[in-house]
């Protein structure tokens, strides 16, 4: 039996209640599905579990990452102010980033939830804090991007750095963590690592190995792009070859994780092919590489798969391997009887070979260009 590890799950119904637009792929309701699934398993009554209620971030807390002009524009758009030029801040009613009533409050609350996660782990009372509503890694200093209004990972990291912490950020979302990379591109206090589907095939188009930081931050932005249809085995191999050595060398005081689930094989927007088998290896491995962990959510558009993976992950944060059979009353909601994926998708060997060869070339390039900055 594994010793339970204290891990907080940050939740309130307000984090899951907003709708960006009826047909928008980002559905905050998926957080409710994850919470309900965990509650059905009785996870919150387990030793070491803690449910924590978030508070909204303040405007001042956003300022290290976002401009005052942008924050004010979000506040005004939230009220339906038609004098604001929405397009200037990359908002568009029919596009990725629609302004909607309650947008400002929702973005402040999910960002405040990430700040609470940072404060909980800094206090030493909690080893791991999981804000699944966060991880909105595309938002930029002056504009919304990729369904993200405020960049809560960057705000939480800036909060930690301001308190003297060395922070590593590992992003396993299918999309490149471009906004977090941009926020700390010139800093050696923050190591950002993003593993994602190549920008040649997927939004936001960036995330090549050669984007490795500037000035003092050289070698502190790490990108591992992978080809569409990369499977568990190639992903796990490339992860193991790069992430643990870099984290061990950088020795962060706090590790911030972006746990988007759109690299899952059922995801309708991206093309990586991970199953719960890969998540069951990668997440526990990451948790073993730092003493304090802030875990955030991220993308994920097959909402039942997202709920299953986040439920499994919170279990692993507590040192619990949840039973595979989903409690019967909930099986219809999730469309499956089991928490873990069945047999992974099958591919032609030539696809597997092509993707492994590509991954090997990326790993070689990271070892040549980034490893030397860390004495590796
Ligand atoms: Zn994503």
Q: Kindly report, residue by residue over 80-91, the tens digit of the pLDDT.
A: 998 999 999 999
- Distance, CA 1 to ligand 1 centroid (Å)? 34
Which residues form the domain of 74? 7-374
Does residue 38 carry a pLDDT above 90?
yes
- Distance, CA 170 to ligand 1 centroid (Å)? 13
pLDDT tens digits for 275-333? 999 999 999 999 999 999 999 999 999 999 999 999 999 999 999 999 999 999 889 88
Query: Is 291 contained in some domain?
Result: yes
Other CB atoms within a 10 A radius of the CB of residue 342 amount to: 8
Does residue 373 carry a pLDDT above 70?
yes
Does residue 140 carry a pLDDT above 90?
yes
pLDDT tens digits for 143-173? 999 999 999 999 999 999 999 999 999 999 9
Query: Is 1 contained in some domain?
Result: no
137 annotated active-site: no
- Distance, CA 20 to ligand 1 centroid (Å)? 16
- In the set 66, 138, 159, 175, the catalytic residue is 138
Query: Is 197 contained in some domain?
Result: yes
Stretch 71-75: mean pLDDT: 97
Torsion of CA 217, 220, 226, 231, to 10 degrees: -160
Read off the CATH number of the domain in which 322 is found: 3.40.800.20
| Higher local confidence (pLDDT), 175 or 18 | 175
- Distance, CA 258 to ligand 1 centroid (Å)? 10
In the chain, the percentage of residues whose pLDDT exceeds 70 is: 99
- Distance, CA 276 to ligand 1 centroid (Å)? 17
> Is this structure's pTM higher than 0.85?
yes
Query: Is 2 contained in some domain?
Result: no
Number of domains in the chain: 1
Angle in degrees, 0-180, between the axes of helices 232-250 and 276-287, rounded to the nearest 10 = 10
- Distance, CA 301 to ligand 1 centroid (Å)? 9
As a whole number of angstroms, the distance between CA 42 and CA 271 comes to 33
The residue whose two tokens read 């009826």 is 22
Q: Are 297 and 264 in contact (CB under 8 A)?
A: no
């Amino acid at each position: 039996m594994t010793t339970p590890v204290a891990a907080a799950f940050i939740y309130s119904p307000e984090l899951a209640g907003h709708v960006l637009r009826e047909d928008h792929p980002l559905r905050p309701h998926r957080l409710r599905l994850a919470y309900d699934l965990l509650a059905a398993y009785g996870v919150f009554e387990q030793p070491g579990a803690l449910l924590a209620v978030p508070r909204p971030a303040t405007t001042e807390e956003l300022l290290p990452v976002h401009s005052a002009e942008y924050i004010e524009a979000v506040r005004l758009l939230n009220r339906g102010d038609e004098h604001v030029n929405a397009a200037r801040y990359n908002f568009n009613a029919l596009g990725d980033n629609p302004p909607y009533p309650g947008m400002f409050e929702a973005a402040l609350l999910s960002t405040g939830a990430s700040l609470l996660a940072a404060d909980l782990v800094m206090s030493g009372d909690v080893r791991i804090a999981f804000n699944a509503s966060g991880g909105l890694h595309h938002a930029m200093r002056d504009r919304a991007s990729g369904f993200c209004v405020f960049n809560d990972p960057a705000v939480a990291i800036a909060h930690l750095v301001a308190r003297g912490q060395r922070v590593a950020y590992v992003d396993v979302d299918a999309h490149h963590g471009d906004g977090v990379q941009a926020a700390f591109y010139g800093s050696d206090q923050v190591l950002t690592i993003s593993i994602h589907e190549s920008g040649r095939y997927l939004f936001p188009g960036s995330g090549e190995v050669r984007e490795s930081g500037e000035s003092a931050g050289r070698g502190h932005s790490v990108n591992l792009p992978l080809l569409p249809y990369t499977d568990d085995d190639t992903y796990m191999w490339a992860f193991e070859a790069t992430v643990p050595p870099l984290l061990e060398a950088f020795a962060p005081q706090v590790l911030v994780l972006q746990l988007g689930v759109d690299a899952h094989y059922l995801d309708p927007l991206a093309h990586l092919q991970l199953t719960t088998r890969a998540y069951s290896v990668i997440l526990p491995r990451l948790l073993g590489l730092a003493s304090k962990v802030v875990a955030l959510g991220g993308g994920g558009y097959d909402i039942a798969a997202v709920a299953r993976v986040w439920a499994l992950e919170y279990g692993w944060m507590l040192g619990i391997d949840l039973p595979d059979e989903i409690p019967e009353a909930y099986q219809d909601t999730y469309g499956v009887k089991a928490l873990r994926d069945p047999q992974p998708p099958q591919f032609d060997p030539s696809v597997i070979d092509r993707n492994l060869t590509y991954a090997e070339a990326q790993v070689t390039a990271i070892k040549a260009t980034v490893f030397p900055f860390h004495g590796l």
